Structure 1
Amino acid sequence: MTNVSQNRPLSPHLTIYKQIPTMVMSIVHRVTGMALYAGTLLVAWWLVAAASGEAYFEWVNGIFGSFLGRLVLFGYTWALVHHMLGGIRHFIWDTGRGFDPQTSTKMAWATLAGSIILTILIWIAGYAARF
């Protein structure tokens, strides 16, 4: 008796499929959703610091104001915007529209481009509001 399972292919995985924009944006949507948990903990930490007193708040602000802190906050902003736009894309799909390959690919690229552009505009507006 031969073992039939040895001749069967492994279950399909990401390395087998051609990576198309909609697939990549779906994965990025999930990753940004997970990143928002960590970023929201940072926002909560900042709020707790604000309620804890001026010295602790200044220390936390110093961390967030450092190059690494601003880089993390920039990434959090991008994750938030990208996840929001991905949610809008999924909402459009929930209405039964945008399923044809050309439209779904355009929407995937628009999600990526829109998230980058909006993140940069938010940070420009944030820096402009400081002065």
Structure 2
Amino acid sequence: MPTSPAKRPRPLSPNIQNYRPQLTSVLSIANRISGVLLSLAAVVLVIWLLAAAAGPEAYAVVQGAFASWLGQVVLFGCTFAFFLHLCGGIRHLVWDMGYGYELGSIYASGWTVVAGSVVLTVLAWIASLVLGG
């Protein structure tokens, strides 16, 4: 007696089993995630501004949250998200002008986005520590 089609296991695509994320796909997803994180960071910025407008007590509470180790990690992440989104946007502007579509250029610009984001984040934090006291 033949087995019904519903009882047979579905074959898995060999592409799914052998898929390895590419730099371009990872950066595309990271760009979207960083955009969402920056939207959330904008809400936190508004909260900070409202606390500053509300008076010293409210401002001290928000500043205390930002000064905590968790607040510093979140601010560092927001800084990295900002620069990742910025560098990715510049990369897309170059593509919009019709440049950089060769495979070597795509990977070079992708790694430049990653490296530039890291370097700009670290430089921004060093500048904030040096200039901010």
TM tier, shorter chain? Answer: 0.7 to 0.9
User: Hey, what does 2:132 align to over in structure 1?
Assistant: 130
Give 1:81's aligned residue: 83
Q: Residues 33 and 10 (structure 1 numbering): CA distance in 2 closer, same or farther, change over 3 Å?
A: farther
Residue of structure 2 equivalent to 1:35: 37
What is the correspondence of 1:1-40 to structure 2 with a 5 Å cutoff? 17-40=19-42
How has the CA–CA distance of structure 1 residues 75 and 14 changed in structure 2, closer, same or farther, with 3 Å as cutoff? farther
Aligned twin of 1:109 = 111
Q: Which has the higher contact order (CA 8 A, sep 6+)?
A: 1
Deviation at 1:17, TM superposition (A): 3.9
- In structure 2, what is the Cα distance between the partners aligned to 1:50 and 1:98? 45
Q: Would you say 1:67 and 2:69 are equivalent positions? A: yes
Whole-angstrom distance in 2 between the partners of 1:96 and 1:17: 29
Distance 1:114 1:60 in 2: 30
**CA 1:112–1:129 in 2, change beyond 3 Å: closer, same or farther?**
same
Identical counterparts, % of pairs: 40
Matched, 1:121 2:98: no
Unmatched 5+ residue regions in structure 2? none
Counterparts of 1:27 and 1:21 in 2: how far apart (Å)? 10
* CA pair 114-9 structure 1, distance change in 2 beyond 3 A: farther
Q: Supply the AA of the counterpart residue of 1:63.
A: A
Based on CA coordinates, which of the two structures has the bigger radius of gyration?
2
Does 2:97 correspond to 1:91? no
Q: How many residues align?
A: 127
TM superposition shift of 1:10: 8.2
* C-alpha deviation, 1:58, in angstroms: 0.7
Q: Which TM-score applies when normalising by structure 2?
A: 0.86
CA shift, 1:16, in A, is: 6.3
Are the structure 2 counterparts of residues 103 and 9 from structure 1 closer, same or farther at C-alpha, using a change threshold of 3 Å?
farther
Cα-to-partner distance string for 1:32-57 (whole Å, 9 max, x where unaligned)? 01111111111111011000101100
